[in-house]
Chain A
């Protein structure tokens, strides 16, 4: 009897710890397609303006190497859906575009000053996409009905080539994404803080629509099939 009580107590405490780690869960599970995008005011530093002016979409777009520039760039491609799977201690976000499989560990109190020392943070979190370290390290937590993900450690390079072509990011960029459920819709509000290239934070809001029965398919991009150079006569 005592052992049964002990097991039940253990299960309950484990459950409550998991709830603590996850906070109040938003209902985000599913496959989603892009409904609309709203891009906030772009206020670039002189360095940001200079980089944007020099950007050549035919040479500088990482798409042509089948490389996802950033999550902002990935989500700007309208047709490939994304998938969210909420687990007890992490969230999986699968982007069909470029076969990006992201894993975000959950850590409650990440932004609280009194957070537990030695816990998971943005410096020691794993790369959010194992195959693409340039996308940085992410940690998430629930904030009321929203899932909030913070990302740092993104490498300097192209930020966007589609919504606002020619935006660059520095390795100082910090990004906050808020996933807000709204029935069969979901908003992802992305805010980029980058003192090197942006005078004011850049906010992009993506509204998604649930794709019932939807499935993430393989993208299988090959650079030789992606570049425009394949159309240029060789002779």
Chain B
């Protein structure tokens, strides 16, 4: 029991001592609950790949037949380009399912995790940590 507690304490200390920039990135963490995920299916209305954050607007069908916008925030354009994310696969007019971390404040907003495209392929973004690791190792980014 004591050994288990000691192991937990060591691991926890290690995490705090090696405070990664991902943990320090409070802007995303402050606005989005990264412990939760949500699938949002809708028709792609707009894809704005830009800085400081990219944005995808989905038109989501409501039970009464009307549609409501759902906004998906994503990484900055420059980072997505450096990570070679195939952003052009998300096309206006397509129906896609985007898995997001929901906003802490707004019900119509989430942060991009993955996108399931009309042909069933899943578009992933490896993220900055994977990119950084690939630079350190001199390898191609994978996730």
B-contacting residues of A (Cβ < 8 Å)?
33-39, 57, 61, 63, 66, 76-80, 96, 161-163, 165, 209, 211-212, 217, 219-221, 225-226, 228, 231-233
Contacts and interface: CB of A to CB of B under 8 A. Distances in A.
Q: Would you list the 10 A-B pairs with minimal beta carbon distance, nearest first?
A: A79-B79, A78-B21, A217-B78, A231-B109, A79-B128, A219-B51, A231-B71, A163-B24, A37-B21, A78-B128
Q: Of residues B31, B48, B82, which shows the largest number of chain A Cβ atoms within 10 Å of its Cβ?
A: B82
A187 B27 CA distance: 24
Given A38-B19, A78-B128, 11 more contacts: A33-B132, A34-B132, A35-B132, A37-B21, A57-B30, A63-B27, A76-B24, A79-B82, A79-B131, A80-B78, A80-B79
Contacts of A33: 131-132, 135
Interface in B18-52: 18-22, 24-27, 30-31, 48, 50-52
Provide the main secondary structure of the chain A interface.
loop
Given A57-B30, A161-B27, A162-B24, A37 B19 contact: yes
Contacts, number: 88
Contacts of A38: 19
B88 to A, nearest CB: 18
Interface residues of B, number: 34
Nearest to A79: B79
B75 interface: yes
Contacts of A37: 19, 21, 24
B31 A228 contact: yes
Nearest to A228: B31
Interface string B43-82: 0000010111101000000000000000100011011011
29 contacts: A33-B131, A36-B19, A36-B20, A37-B19, A37-B24, A38-B19, A57-B27, A57-B30, A61-B27, A66-B52, A76-B25, A79-B76, A79-B82, A79-B128, A80-B79, A96-B78, A162-B25, A163-B24, A163-B26, A209-B135, A219-B51, A219-B52, A220-B51, A221-B52, A228-B31, A228-B105, A231-B71, A231-B108, A232-B106
B58 to A, nearest CB: 13
Nearest to B83: A79
A36 B26 CA distance: 14
A79 B78 contact: yes
Nearest to B106: A231
Contacts of B105: 228
Contacts of A231: 71, 103, 106, 108-109
B6 interface: no
Contacts of A39: 19, 24
A219 B5 CA distance: 46
